[in-house]
Amino acid sequence: MKAYRALDALRGLGSEKAWLMRIAINTCKDMQRSRWWRLVDRRITTDDLPEQGVCDEYPDKAVLTAVMNLPMKYRQTVLLHYYQGMTLTQVAQALDVPPGTVRTRLMRAKERLRGQLEGWYFDEE
């Protein structure tokens, strides 16, 4: 509804996907600041999530758990780029940061994930 109401604010300057993601991110930030957020039990594990429709090649959820344990700025960047398929420019627009910052955050997130997931895919000796 927020996107529909703000449709006249959409200009041809950026992608629609980045514009919608920015609305979603701001809505989530508003929710985190609300009283409701402090009163609701948000302890959800990956086991509580519904089953996927497509068979997962790696069913142990180690990568998803590692991504979700990243600091917020890295997690947002990884989720938008790799899970939502957004380009670096679109991620930069959605997060309202320069594209260079997105590249740096992705690089640092990969370094952290590499350390956490070492030996997960292959048995490294």
Please report, for the chain, the start and end positions of each structural domain, with discontinuous segments joined by +.
15-43+61-116
Q: Which of 53, 57, 108, 52 is nearest to 78 (CA)?
A: 108
Number of other CB atoms surrounding residue 76 within 10 Å: 21
What's the pTM?
Answer: 0.57
Number of other CB atoms surrounding residue 94 within 10 Å: 26
pLDDT in tens, 95-111: 889 999 999 999 999 99
- Of 3.30.460.20, 1.10.150.130, 1.10.10.10, 3.30.1220.10, the CATH number of 15-43+61-116 is 1.10.10.10
pLDDT computed for residue 105 by the predictor: 95
pLDDT computed for residue 122 by the predictor: 56
